[in-house]
Structure 1
């Protein structure tokens, strides 16, 4: 049975194939699995994950064109609800060749049965004819190696993409942050200037510079500067934009769903006897960070992967230096092994019970206690302004 067709029929029947290790035991991670087992009537069929399929990449770069193995096809299906960034990150973590947006969309649509044709899938007759032709070739008819200069030229080629493949994503993007920033940075200051210009001088204003100095020195007139918490964008992170509010604000942990939330920012309200009332901003990307935003970062959650810090500015892209300047946390299931890097970094490990949710509140309060002590020592007040 053709592996690609067998996978489609299994998924269309509402079943999921099982991952098997090399010794035939069940595997939970596709990176450690060796076979994919299909329930074919009474006799299960197991196919090696390294088996090439009829899904053929047509890209021109050297080493990228050709059939995609069963591992790459099934992993694309497992990540069907993830956005492009999460899918690419997961492929890098598990050392699995990623498909392009167009390829992955075409494959998933075909596997779901929504389309009977895919430009990347070779028909069974064509595949059989190619196999016969390959088998009939003499050994001496091997391909002549490419000229090294031609190989280098192919390696530097890039696929031309249109606006559909570049701008479109698998999930809708929320641009609510643009409206909020426009109101904060443009509309409100303009209204304040207009209101100030319309006021007439009063007798109290005769003091001149003394009144202006008193207004500036009033903490209530200072711009609100909420502290910022950074999450890891890794697909393996337990704390994401979808569950961080419930966890940090309500003290309830829930497993992060496979689908992206579409939220680019979350706000967390926190009231404590130590630092008063504060509102925290939580983000998982620093792409839109301005230089002064880094002064407001108080905590960074990490999974122990150094690539998380590549886009951080100089002096903060080294985790050993970063976690001397901000509070570091690693959220981990109790009993699971810790990444090696976590042991050498200045990071607090927060253990989450896999089953008992009543312990979440105690865990979260311990996290906040550690962070608030760190913030209090650095002068953060209940207004979100550093003194």
Structure 2
């Protein structure tokens, strides 16, 4: 029975069992039940050979029960196995590797065989399920009938042996999961007979609803943003801190010196008086800006430009606060002795500096404006209405202006009229077919370094880091 058991032949369950057992399947160029034709090139491979619980070879083009929400079609085994192999790489590297593999597949088999590029949410959900950290996935369709019981038992046991899978299909696996011992196969020599379950009791088992553990219960359909609740609660937290007699309140403390709540959109400042405050960079909230919160980490942190509405960045679109660390090693300017090394007040320039990135000033405290070092702008003056300096010429006397445009576009007259306080940086346009390998993408790192250099020079000129 185990030879035709759907739970044993299912590609997803087979891969999950192999991962739990620490014996990954072998990519081969043949359908033979052996690893003699093993290869590490997924473009040349045609099958995955699983050595346990029973030797079997599954074609890489086999559709799985994992259905992508973006295409509403089952994802093939090649794409699933590739996503697992790249589970620890960054998003741009995953996209680039997928495109390279697709180019190799196109040369070999044409446009028919292509690796599907899973978005961040789907890839995270898949890896969590394959690792066994979660027993449910909103993208994986359940097996039907007896095979569904086999899948449930697999989540409890971690791995499924071929004999245990046969007992699962007949109803004995439930007794094995509850009693802690699996039933031996009836066909094995010297084995004891399988435990028979009363048909009425089995009917009750089939009608049970799986509740799951705390991880599956707390896992919603989509990420929920509770920032509006935290912002409302911040007002009450600040009032309680300043109230005389309140626990933790100190007499004579002004409201402007109150430590902001963690929900204020900016991190807690250091309590040490001699510590260095974290510099702040403001982004444009405009929907037409090529640089927004969704892609700023990929751009400034990794030196790769990805469009802000790209599906692989969907997890970051709701964020309004982010941190990026950058090592600043600028030496002191001899012509300006008061401006010391930006790296640290005590000369440890190799220590990374944490930059705070936000796209609005809703939670800005008065002292935050002294920490502002750069402003990304699209040339629209409405962006500055809530700023301390609403006039662009005055604003860019206190912070470096950054204007990012696509190559071939003209810099707006408004940005030009704001003077040298705003620097313009052109980047290559995005190519949907080539992605991060598109023309001009290799220059992104050079542009990012130029932006950081402009910010660092501006900080040095304004005495940032001096005692």
TM norm structure 1: 0.43
| Bigger radius of gyration among the two | 2
